[in-house]
Amino acid sequence: MALQALQSSGVAFRKILSHFPEELSLAFAYGSGVYRQAGPSANQKNAMLDFVFTVDDPVAWHSKNLKKNWNHYSFLKVLGPKTITIVQNNYGAGVYYNPLVVCDGRLVKYGVISTSVLIEDLLNWNTLYIAGRLQKPVKIVAMNENVSLRSALDKNLKSAVTTAFLMLPESFSEEDLFIEIAGLSYSDKSPEGQFTQLMTLPKTLQQQINHIVDPPGRNRDVEETLLQVAHDPDCGDVVRRGLSAIVRPCSMKQSIKGIFTGGVKKSVIYSSLKLQKMWKGWLRKTS
């Protein structure tokens, strides 16, 4: 029964994909529309489907998509695919979202990101926006044979495992690491082991840790700072602060960008739907 449901959802996702230009290096679905959420009132069938489309040439892709799906875009569509791509690449997290789109009777939100921008985020955690999403359960709907992209996807997961391990106490359960760790290579929390792991973290996270630990004016190199952090009992807390420094400003910019890419009306509707979902979740916890 579960296998049939999985196969059925895969067919449905690919059918939705047929409404868009085919030139995708990666397409994945995520969220409550893909994976059943906890709670008796969770309705997977009526939940909005969230997609991310990765494209090698955003200008060409948006040009074709504007011809097929003109009504998906906000007022920015009148400025053409080049302007849309500039907004996509240069603001927020490098993603252009079209929310509240109806495809095959399902409510859909899809984001478009350049393949090169995604690879950079997967390797270096520049924003951790889509890289962070790909550390959680997702349903891969389409993927081409881009070796660099596949390698970056693997590196992102390994970085997530390393980072999670640095933030955990010496004793932890399998449940604590269920998603983050698959094949732990270190069994103790020694400074030497932590330093080795810190040195393998994505570049942007290393730089944020260096900025947090190194006082202004000292200008130590990153390796020296990471060696100090490796011997710090609060190593995990420093890593968390580094992650927060990456994620928080990017999420705020992407939210502001959504007003322009989705349009004011759609943004208000989408925000109200999110608030309703949060409210229902809070009620379930307190009841």
Least confident segment among 14-18, 78-82, 158-162, 277-281: 277-281
Q: Is the pLDDT of residue 147 over 80?
A: yes
Mean pLDDT within 81-106 = 90
Range with top average pLDDT, 26-30, 156-160, 215-219, 265-269: 26-30
Residue 276 lies in a domain: no
What's the domain range around 122? 2-145
Residue 36 lies in a domain: yes
Distance (Å, whole) CA 158 – CA 165: 11
Backbone CA torsion sign across 228, 230, 235, 240: positive
Residue 234 lies in a domain: no
Residue 15 lies in a domain: yes
Cα angle 175, 180, 185 (rounded to 5 degrees) comes to 100
For residue 152, the surrounding DSSP H or E stretch is helix 147-167
Residue 240 lies in a domain: no
pLDDT 10s digits, 211-230: 888 866 666 788 888 888 88
pLDDT 10s digits, 153-182: 999 988 988 888 887 877 877 677 654 443
Over 233-246, what HEC string results?
Answer: CCHHHHHHHHHHHH
Number of domains, the chain:
1
Per-residue DSSP letter, 214: S
Residue 266 lies in a domain: no
Residue 287 lies in a domain: no
Furthest CA-CA distance within the chain: 63
Distance (Å, whole) CA 136 – CA 130: 10
Mean pLDDT within 87-100 = 89
Residue 106 lies in a domain: yes
Question: Looking at residue 221, what is its pLDDT?
Answer: 80
Question: Looking at residue 170, what is its pLDDT?
Answer: 77
Closest C-alpha among 17, 25, 21 to residue 147: 25
